[in-house]
A and B are shown apart, each in its own frame.
Chain A
Amino acid sequence: GAGVSQSPSNKVTEKGKDVELRCDPISGHTALYWYRQSLGQGLEFLIYFQGNSAPDKSGLPSDRFSAERTGGSVSTLTIQRTQQEDSAVYLCASSLARGSGGRASTDTQYFGPGTRLTVL
């Protein structure tokens, strides 16, 4: 079946511009995560959506970053007034997140291919 998809695959922008990154999770997955992967830093958590609960925004690095998830499906990550240090690969993941947990079948986070953001 279809996996997690992200668009665009590459985005080049100028410092100070706003950008929107899109994630389409696997159908039926209730949990959605955004991570950032930058050189030398590895993968870092940004924000997490679970069903209709308030999102966990504890990983967002500044108030220039925000995300929303419409209708429990598609998510958009917005970065306002981009800075050069925002250059990274932005990865989205989704998981089924149902049942009692503790099993790979329900807990596994499936990642999309990422959006490579370059801020000039």
Chain B
Amino acid sequence: QKEVEQDPGPLSVPEGAIVSLNCTYSNSAFQYFMWYRQYSRKGPELLMYTYSSGNKEDGRFTAQVDKSSKYISLFIRDSQPSDSATYLCAMSFHVNTPLVFGKGTRLSVIA
């Protein structure tokens, strides 16, 4: 079993839909949780950064971490065609240490 599991999709939704992306993980020692967005032929860019359990909101994006269930989620409200990309969850044990990534979910938002 991989340390971080993420459904690769692809996921296709109409413009304006609410998108739910999630990852599960097996190691309870992970403390820092991130979501990256990666456009085709580009490097990943950070969307959300969360320490430990809880919710964090930034504009149309909400990140949730449930450490008891080893489950993290990213919600995108009012999805736009420009949100079409691959979304990668990532986590680490300590600050400033290598990240462990999920395989990424490919999202298409159709106008």
Question: 6 nearest interchain CB pairs?
Answer: A101-B95, A111-B43, A42-B103, A104-B49, A43-B101, A45-B98
- Contact yes or no, B104 A42, CB < 8 A: yes
CA distance A30 to B52 in the complex (A): 25
Size class of the B contact interface (CB-based, 8 Å): 20 to 34
Q: How far is the CB of B5 from chain A (nearest CB, A)?
A: 11
- Give the contacting residue for A43; candidates B49, B51, B88, B94; CB below 8 A: B88
CA distance A112 to B44 in the complex (A): 8
- Interface positions of A from 73 to 117, Cβ below 8 Å from B: 91, 93, 95, 97, 101-102, 104, 106-114
A41 on the B face (CB < 8 A): yes
B41 on the A face (CB < 8 A): yes
- Interface positions of A from 38 to 80, Cβ below 8 Å from B: 40-45, 48, 50, 56, 59
Interfacial residues, chain A to chain B (CB-CB below 8 A): 4, 31, 33, 35, 40-45, 48, 50, 56, 59, 91, 93, 95, 97, 101-102, 104, 106-114
- Give the contacting residue for B96; candidates A35, A95, A104, A112; CB below 8 A: A95
Give the residue among B42, B43, B44, B102 with the most A Cβ atoms within 10 A: B43
